[in-house]
Amino acid sequence: MALREDVLQKQKRAEFRAKQLKHRISDYLEKEPDIPTGFRLQKTIQANKERIMQLMGAGPEQWNNWKWQVGHRISDVAALAQLLELDREQQAEIELVAKTFRWAISPYYASLMDPKDPNCPVRLMSIPSLLELDDSCGVDDPMGEELTSPAPCITRRYPDRLIINVTNQCASFCRHCQRRRNIGGRDLHKTRADLEAAIAYVRANREIRDVLITGGDALLLSDSLLDWLLGELSSIPHVEIKRLGTRVPVTLPMRITPELCEILAKYPPIYLNTQFNHPMEITPEVWDATERLVKAGVVLGNQAVLLKGINNNPHIMKKLMQELLKVRIRPYYIFQAKHVTGTRHFICPVEEGMEIMEKLRGYTSGLAIPTYIINTPDGGGKTPVLPQYVLGLQSKRIMLRTWEGKVYSYPNPV
């Protein structure tokens, strides 16, 4: 009888705890159905796609060709006004900003935009805003990349790894871009001579075990050039991993072709880090692209940027992280937006980033929790910013705060 009462008491405690946990997530459960995702908006996106194809005189074969997409990027206000509701004042603002900052949007990425809503997250990340000209605080090169370039194309801020910048070209130019100083007025890949000099630098420094190829967008190089570059790096004994920095899974998923995946499969291990910033960007086309990459043995990660008015909301950021895991992309970083010229309107207080991290830890899978990062100025490197969970550290005890705010004393072996 006593044993049965003990079991019942444990069951009651478990049921009470389950109710507590459900209550803790009730605010998210209330808001989650209203968070737009690329899957939920698929009918709308398909209608946008058909309208864009009709306006451009294109068919499905052209739409699914990544070179056609790049060749038909939207960079003209009149063309954009055919796709979106833009009054004359808005059009004039875009033309004014374009005199200082270049812009272009792939037709695919434009199809994700809400034609009627000027606050659509995809629109805010893509369409020039007059706020870009109202910035007295930003600098062109906040990370001091030009001071950490010991060889052509190379940025080196850490002991055992470096970046090779291969192009200034992107499928779409993000308004919050950290390297907008390099965009210029036309697309330019680095010369073969510069790339060979970068590879020679890697060969000559045996401590370099990790090489990130980025730009611009690394995957806008041709298949043949990527094949050569990855092959050269793979032939260097001390290079253990190659990384690709690219936003094409977001803005141009048709670039992930079977032919590209065959090349990537030749040079393991390859890690691909992309940048999804809102759940609207994760579509069935993205899923198809990530499936091909995973089958090619590529390891996928995401580096989101905390952006005011786009994802500086704990519910939206949590939904983004969960949607990423569904398409097999591991959340890696959330970056504090950098103080780049013309991007001040995107920058959130650091406290907002820390609040988001508080609302992730314990409230969703550990797999869905990235590291919140501030890139310190002038090449100081990435610094993690974490909520404080260690409240006190003594010789024999540690005082810990849990994700629920409860405080525990934990034994600390001497």
Write down the pLDDT at residue 48.
98
Higher pLDDT, 292 or 376: 292
Share of the chain above pLDDT 70, in %: 99
Q: What is the pLDDT of residue 140?
A: 83
Query: Rounded to whole angstroms, what are the CA distances from 243 to 164, 198, 327, 390?
Result: 10, 15, 19, 34
Which H or E run includes 163?
Answer: strand 161-165
What's residue 85's pLDDT? 95
In which band, very low, low, confident or very high, does the pLDDT at 141 lie, cut at 50, 70 and 90?
Answer: confident
Per-residue model confidence (pLDDT) at position 379: 77
Q: Across the strands, what pairs with 299?
A: 271
* Token pair in block for residue 338: 């950098």
pLDDT (tens digit, 9 = 90+) per residue, 35-53? 999 999 999 999 999 999 9
- Binned at pLDDT 50, 70 and 90, residue 316 comes out as very high
Mean pLDDT over all residues of the chain? Answer: 95
Asked if residue 66 belongs to a domain, the reply is yes
Instruction: Provide the number of structural domains found in the chain.
Output: 1
pLDDT one-digit tens code per residue, 74-107:
999 999 999 999 999 999 999 999 999 999 999 9
Distance of CA 82 to the CA centre of its chain: 29
**Which pLDDT score is estimated for 47?**
98
Q: Is residue 64 part of a domain?
A: yes
Q: Is the pLDDT of residue 1 over 70?
A: no
**Cα–Cα nearest to 247, from 108, 365, 360:** 108
- CATH code, 241: 3.20.20.70
The residues pairing with 272 across neighbouring beta strands, listed in sequence order, are 244, 300
Q: Is 398 a domain residue?
A: no
* Burial category of 292 from C-beta neighbours within 10 Å (exposed 0-12, middle 13-18, buried 19 and up): middle
Label residues 306-315 b or e (16+ Cβ within 10 Å = b): bbbebbbbbb
pLDDT digits (tens, 9 = 90+) for 317-361: 999 999 999 999 999 999 999 999 999 999 999 999 999 999 999
Nearest to 151 by CA among 216, 212, 213, 196: 196
Helix (H) or strand (E) holding 18: helix 2-24
146: pLDDT strictly greater than 90: no
Tens-place pLDDT, residues 223-236: 999 999 999 999 99
Residue 185: the pLDDT is 82
**Would 5 be classed as within a structural domain?**
no
Write the pLDDT tens digit of every residue in 259-303.
999 999 999 999 999 999 999 999 999 999 999 999 999 999 999
Domain for residue 391, yes or no? Answer: no
Question: Phi/psi at 216 (nearest 5 deg)?
Answer: 40, -160
Owning domain of residue 207: 19-385
In a domain, 401, yes or no: no
Q: Kindly state whether residue 402 falls inside one of the protein's structural domains.
A: no
Q: What is the mean pLDDT of residues 190-205?
A: 98
Q: What is the percent of the chain where pLDDT is above 90?
A: 88
Rounded-to-integer distance, Cα 407 and Cα 411, Å: 13
| 305-317: average pLDDT | 98
Query: Between these two residues, 2 and 107, which has the higher pLDDT value?
Result: 107
Average pLDDT over residues 374-378: 87
Judge whether 48 lies within some domain.
yes
End-to-end alpha carbon distance in the chain: 45
